[in-house]
Amino acid sequence: MSRLLVPGSLRLRFLLAISLWVVLGIGAIWFSATGIFTKHIEASYHEELEVHVRELGRLATFGEDGELRLSRPLSDPRYEEPMSGFYWQITADGRKPLRSQSMVIGKLDEQIAHSPEILHTLEKGPSGPAITYGFTRPAPGGGDIHFVIATDQSELDRLISSFTRDLTLWLVGLGALLLATGLAIINFGLYPLDRLSQAIGRLRHGDAYELEGEYPVEIAPLVADLNAYVHQNAEMVAKSRVQAGNLAHSLRTPLAVMTDEAERLGETAAGAESSKVLLDQARAMKQQIEYQLARARFSTGQPYNARRVHLPEVAEPILRAMKRLHPDKRFLLDASQCDSVVLPLDDVDYSELLSILLDNAGKWAKREVRLEFLCDSSSSFTARVTDDGPGMSEQELSHAFEIGSRFDQEKGGSGLGLAIARDIADALGLLLELSNTPAGFAASVCFRSSEINR
């Protein structure tokens, strides 16, 4: 349901449009059905009353005593039931009026019956406003006989309101059914878009190389274009990487020649100063080339085409390599907290990042390097490399990620490791932090996402 209420979503738009359509349709049906029903029920009611007043006229006779009486009761038994709302009355000048048994109290206004034509009006009856019909007929001894028949208006109102209530309930039910089917139609219609968004999710997480699946003709061209774009993009990235690598390589030889020449120049007294400047510049250029070559190796953080990181398997080959590289140091792995985590990252990039941190720790540790995998919470994961070496001062920490920063000239290195590590972390969306802790110097890589699988 929550997906339906996302502001601006297609689902919400369709839902609003369908709701409006259903409300208008149902409203129109309600309005016209009650109007037509009221008209018809009123017409048939009036017809029935007219029939009754005619029947009353036919049944009325004079007894032997000259008084008014009916030859038989009216065919509708409701005229016999006290205060039933159905009444009749016959009056003639100088004679005792005759009234239906239902009319226990009150009387009808005989003035409604003042012509041989049947007339009707709304009058006050014995039990409230009444639809009254009447006509006159000449009495045998002179004067008029007034035939009046009346039915409570409330009877008609009751019929109409009971119909309206039933119709309203039925239409509300129909409206709910239409809305439910409307929702089902929305979901059915938008299902291919849901599949598309899942396919994009798989592509983003590196589970697929392109948008997979069959799509309806309306969106199939879009999917084909997107796939073409994804492939083109991957090819472009790969090509650019090769070109960057080629460029860096092609600069190496001229640079070596220039360095050679500068060194030779430095052997002469006049050229010593210039040689120093040239050598410094050549060193800076060499550093940049190495840096760009290293950068070209990692995958720019694009998750598609990536193989995912399975922990701690990814760490084991790196640790074996580090033990060979720094044989006098102990490398320990602690993955007890999360022994089967899968991260939606490129494992080559992640391994490169861990290698840089473990190599530094191996270089500066006194005896021991510890690699820990910590699952802080369901959406946060940290890899921490701790060594028992001297660590860095605050001043060094603030420059540690700069290209070429080296604070210990005794150990070999080009000062590029941490700069590259920072680039990889940024590209993968990871947080890389260095700190001096009571347990030693620590480099932590933190990953925050709801996409961590355990």
Residues interacting with Mg ion, by CB under 5 A?
360, 417
Residue among 153, 167, 186, 297 at smallest CA distance from 237 = 297
Q: Do 208 and 199 form a contact (C-beta atoms < 8 A)? A: yes
Q: What is the closest distance, in whole angstroms, from the C-beta atom of residue 356 to Mg ion in the complex? A: 6
Q: What spatial distance separates the first Cα and last Cα of the chain, rounded to whole Å? A: 28
Out of ligand ATP, Mg ion, none, what residue 301 binds, judged by CB under 5 to 8 A for its kind, is none
Q: Which C-beta is closer to Mg ion: that of 417 or that of 440?
A: 417
Residue 451 CA: distances (Å) to CA of 230, 344, 372: 22, 7, 21
Least distance to ligand ATP, CB of residue 256, Å: 19
361 binds, among ligand ATP, Mg ion, none (CB under 5 to 8 A by kind): ligand ATP
- Integer-rounded Cα radius of gyration of the chain: 49
Shortest reach from residue 408's CB to ligand ATP, in Å: 4
Give CA–CA dist 137/53, Å, rounded. Answer: 12
Task: Give the count of alpha carbons within 13 A of 72, CB side only.
Answer: 4
106 binds, among Mg ion, ligand ATP, none (CB under 5 to 8 A by kind): none
Tell me how far, at minimum, the Cβ of 371 lies from ligand ATP, in Å: 13
Distance between CA atoms of residues 145 and 96, nearest Å: 11
Instruction: Choose among Mg ion, ligand ATP, none what residue 424 binds, the Cβ cut-off being 5 to 8 Å by kind.
Output: none
Residue closer to ligand ATP by CB (options 56, 418) is 418
Give the integer Cα–Cα distance in Å for 27 and 199: 42
Quick one: what does residue 364 bind among ligand ATP, Mg ion, none, with the CB cut-off 5 to 8 Å set by partner type?
ligand ATP
Question: Of 157 and 402, which has the nearer Cβ to ligand ATP?
Answer: 402
Q: Which does 407 bind (CB under 5 to 8 A by kind): ligand ATP, Mg ion, none?
A: ligand ATP
Residue 392 CB, nearest approach to ligand ATP (Å): 5
Phi, psi of 46 (to 5 degrees): -65, -40
CB closer to ligand ATP, 129 vs 391: 391
Residue 341 CB, shortest distance to ligand ATP, in Å, is 25
Q: How far is the CB of 327 from ligand ATP (least distance, A)?
A: 18
How crowded is residue 154: how many other Cβ atoms within 10 Å of its Cβ?
15
415 binds, among ligand ATP, Mg ion, none (CB under 5 to 8 A by kind): ligand ATP
Residue (210 or 368) nearer to ligand ATP, CB: 368
Q: Which residues bind ligand ATP (CB under 6 A)?
A: 360-361, 364, 387, 389-392, 400, 405-408, 413-419, 441
Given Mg ion, ligand ATP, none, residue 430, with its beta carbon under 5 to 8 Å by kind, binds none
* Beta carbon nearer to ligand ATP, 92 or 418: 418
CB 417, min distance to Mg ion, A: 3
Question: Do residues 133 and 45 make contact, with C-beta atoms less than 8 angstroms apart?
Answer: no
Q: From the list ligand ATP, Mg ion, none, which binds 429 (C-beta under 5 to 8 Å, kind-based)?
A: none
Taking CB atoms within 8 Å and a gap of at least 24, the contacts of 73-82 are 74/100, 76/52, 78/102, 79/52
Q: Which is nearer to Mg ion, 196 or 385 (CB)?
A: 385
Q: Which is nearer to ligand ATP, 113 or 358 (CB)?
A: 358
Q: Count of H helices and E strands in the chain? A: 8, 14
What tokens were used for 383?
Answer: 């890899």
Residue whose beta carbon is closest to Mg ion: 417
Bridge partners (DSSP) of residue 437 are 440
Nearer to ligand ATP, 87 or 441 (CB): 441
- Tell me if 148 sits within 8 A of 89, measured CB to CB: yes
The whole-angstrom separation of Cα 130 and Cα 155 is: 9
Strands 342-343 and 368-377: unpaired
Decide whether 8 or 412 has the Cβ nearer to ligand ATP.
412
Residue 414 touches which of Mg ion, ligand ATP, none (Cβ within 5-8 Å per kind):
ligand ATP
Distance in Å, CB of 413 to ligand ATP, minimum:
3
Beta strands in 41-143 (DSSP E): 60-62, 68-70, 86-92, 98-99, 119-125, 128-138
Look up tokens 């995958």; give the residue.
Answer: 299
Q: How many residues appear in the chain?
A: 454
Sequence-ordered alpha helix ranges (H) in 124-219: 153-204
* Comparison of 149 and 294: residue with beta carbon closer to ligand ATP: 294
Minimum separation from the CB atom of position 345 to Mg ion (A): 21
How far is residue 386's CA from residue 374's CA, in Å, rounded to a whole number?
13
How far apart CA 370 and CA 334 sit, in angstroms, is 7
Min CB(440)–Mg ion separation in Å: 17
